[in-house]
């Protein structure tokens, strides 16, 4: 207390003189501004903000005032305390920003350094393409059906209306399991899965069967003894070739682009009748490379159309073998090469790349899944 309590004139208390409070604020501002860094600021802080700072001391004097004058005095002191605190905070923020900027600049790194700390993996393009094709049919409501890769000749041939002397049964066209007469083959097509699907399910049946198939072809640029197909089968009342066409066009457009055009030629397969082979109008040259040696197209080999697979209406004999009444149900089936689809979709010239397991090859397909 600087003076007696009573009687008392507030204007007589020196610490509360307007010039004293203004001076204290100004002095604080000057010292805060003069602080070069946060440490210097911290050093001058107690003198202006601490308990013994002029503004705090002034606040203590208030109790000496007559009660009716205290709110007025208190307000003036609080304004002064706030002003000092604001000056401090302002300077503290500025100095903190400066310090952070300095520190962060010092922590700068070369962000272009390689960041491949973990080796990169990749999926193979064939299973990736297989999943992509299956997804298209899953979205339409199809299920994915599966069957064994080593299969009975009954499923691979007999049930598919392939006669006992059909050339595809020869040792040159199908792998057989020992001993002679085992009746067991490496499936030469995914079509036996059709038979399994029809034996295991009841119509309506809508399935696709992607998988690995085998034929004893010496590997070359366009052949490999092990390759992959996706088979489709739909059995329902009232299905026609129009539905087959609609389905394949939808499939082709989702896979190769919305402007994909399909043509189909009559063909022959024992398990479908009528049968057809769908061709895709080359989506690279759109047929313009035909007879145009100046603009050759390696995707369609300048033939304009790309052979894509086989299809047709399921032969009623096949339906009967699977216990399905062909007078009630009809159906269509189709099969496409997955490896071939990868090849022409990606412009690959040589099948060897698909089977050699060179990690650089698979890695190139990352992001296409």
Footprint (CB under 8 A) of other proteins, residues 222-281: 225-226, 234, 236, 238-243, 245-247, 249-250, 263-268, 273-277
Q: Which of 117, 258, 259, 293 binds other proteins (CB under 8 A)?
A: 117
Q: How far is the CB of 26 from other proteins (least distance, A)?
A: 50
Binding of other proteins by 179 (CB under 8 A)? yes
Q: How far is the CB of 283 from other proteins (least distance, A)?
A: 18
Binding of other proteins by 190 (CB under 8 A)? no
Pairing between strand 143-144 and 205-214?
parallel
Q: Which of 18, 167, 257, 296 binds other proteins (CB under 8 A)?
A: 167
Sequence-distant (6+) residues with CB within 8 A of 228 are 126, 130, 210, 211, 212, 213, 337, 338, 339
Binding of other proteins by 177 (CB under 8 A)? yes
Q: Which of 190, 289, 299, 321 binds other proteins (CB under 8 A)?
A: 321
- How many residues bind to other proteins according to rule CB under 8 A? 102
Q: How far is the CB of 273 from other proteins (least distance, A)?
A: 4
Triad 38, 44, 46: Cα angle to 5°: 115
Binding of other proteins by 180 (CB under 8 A)? yes
Q: How many CA atoms lie within 13 A of 155 on its CB side?
A: 22
Q: Which of 78, 182, 222, 292 binds other proteins (CB under 8 A)?
A: 182
Q: Which of 124, 136, 261, 346 binds other proteins (CB under 8 A)?
A: 124
Specify the residue, 71 or 183, whose C-beta has the smaller distance to other proteins.
183
Binding of other proteins by 101 (CB under 8 A)? no
Q: Which of 150, 221, 328, 349 binds other proteins (CB under 8 A)?
A: 150
Both tokens of residue 362? 């698979």
Cα–Cα distance measured from residue 205 to residue 199, given in angstroms and rounded to the nearest whole number:
11
Instruction: Yes or no: say if 321 and 231 are a contact pair by the CB < 8 Å rule.
Output: no
Sequence-distant (6+) residues with CB within 8 A of 259 are 253, 283
Instruction: Yes or no: say if 256 and 345 are a contact pair by the CB < 8 Å rule.
Output: yes
Q: How far is the CB of 349 from other proteins (least distance, A)?
A: 18
- Report residue 196 CA to chain centroid gap: 33
Cα–Cα distance measured from residue 79 to residue 65, given in angstroms and rounded to the nearest whole number:
18
Cα–Cα distance measured from residue 200 to residue 221, given in angstroms and rounded to the nearest whole number:
38
Specify the residue, 70 or 132, whose C-beta has the smaller distance to other proteins.
132
Binding of other proteins by 163 (CB under 8 A)? yes
Binding of other proteins by 323 (CB under 8 A)? yes
Sequence-distant (6+) residues with CB within 8 A of 250 are 136, 140
Binding of other proteins by 148 (CB under 8 A)? yes
Indicate the helix (H) or strand (E) that contains 256. helix 241-256
- Could you give the dihedral angle defined by the CA atoms of residues 321, 322, 324 and 329, in that order, rounded to the nearest 10 degrees? -100
Q: Which of 94, 144, 254, 284 binds other proteins (CB under 8 A)?
A: 144
Q: How far is the CB of 155 from other proteins (least distance, A)?
A: 7
3-class secondary structure, 207: strand
Binding of other proteins by 320 (CB under 8 A)? yes
Binding of other proteins by 10 (CB under 8 A)? no
Specify the residue, 57 or 355, whose C-beta has the smaller distance to other proteins.
355
Measure Cα distances from 40 to 97, 193, 367 in Å. Answer: 15, 83, 56
Burial category of 250 from C-beta neighbours within 10 Å (exposed 0-12, middle 13-18, buried 19 and up): middle
Binders of other proteins among residues 326 to 365 (CB under 8 A) are: 330, 354-360, 362-363
Binding of other proteins by 76 (CB under 8 A)? no
Binding of other proteins by 159 (CB under 8 A)? yes
Q: How far is the CB of 117 from other proteins (least distance, A)?
A: 6
Binding of other proteins by 296 (CB under 8 A)? no
Binding of other proteins by 24 (CB under 8 A)? no
Binding of other proteins by 289 (CB under 8 A)? no
Measure Cα distances from 87 to 26, 34, 161, 355 in Å. Answer: 9, 12, 95, 74
Q: How far is the CB of 85 from other proteins (least distance, A)?
A: 36
């Amino acid at each position: 207390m600087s003076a007696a309590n009573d009687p008392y004139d507030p204007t007589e208390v020196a610490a509360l003189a307007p010039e004293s409070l203004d001076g204290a604020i100004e002095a604080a501002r000057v010292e805060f501004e003069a602080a070069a860094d946060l440490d210097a600021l911290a050093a001058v802080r107690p003198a202006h903000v601490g308990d013994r700072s002029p503004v705090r001391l002034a606040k203590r004097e208030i109790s000496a005032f007559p009660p009716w004058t205290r709110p007025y005095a208190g307000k003036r002191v609080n304004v002064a305390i706030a002003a000092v605190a604001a000056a401090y905070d302002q300077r503290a923020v500025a100095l903190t920003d400066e310090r952070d900027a300095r520190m962060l600049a010092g922590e700068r790194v070369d962000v272009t350094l390689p960041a491949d700390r973990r080796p990169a993996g990749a999926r193979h393009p064939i299973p990736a393409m297989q999943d992509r094709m299956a997804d298209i049919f899953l979205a339409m409501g199809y299920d994915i059906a599966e069957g064994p890769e080593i299969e009975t000749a009954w499923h691979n041939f007999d049930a598919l209306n392939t006669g006992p002397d059909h050339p595809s049964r020869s040792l040159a066209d199908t792998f057989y399991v020992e001993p002679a007469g085992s009746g067991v083959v490496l499936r030469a097509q995914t079509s036996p899965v059709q038979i399994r699907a029809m034996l295991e399910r009841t119509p309506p049946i809508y399935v696709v069967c992607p998988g690995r198939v085998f034929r004893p072809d010496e590997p070359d640029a366009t052949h490999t003894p092990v390759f992959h197909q996706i088979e489709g089968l739909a059995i329902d009342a009232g299905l026609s070739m129009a539905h087959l066409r609609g389905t394949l066009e939808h499939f082709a457009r989702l896979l190769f682009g919305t402007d994909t055009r399909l043509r189909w030629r009559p063909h022959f397969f024992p398990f479908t009748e009528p049968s057809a082979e769908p061709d895709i109008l080359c989506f690279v040259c759109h047929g313009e490379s035909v007879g145009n040696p100046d603009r050759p197209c390696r995707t369609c080999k300048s033939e304009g159309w790309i052979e894509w697979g086989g299809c047709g209406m399921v032969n009623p004999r096949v339906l009967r073998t699977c216990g399905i009444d062909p007078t009630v149900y009809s159906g269509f089936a189709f099969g496409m090469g997955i490896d071939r689809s990868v090849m022409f979709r990606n412009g690959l010239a040589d099948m060897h790349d698909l089977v050699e397991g060179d990690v650089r090859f698979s890695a190139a397909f990352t992001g296409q899944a």
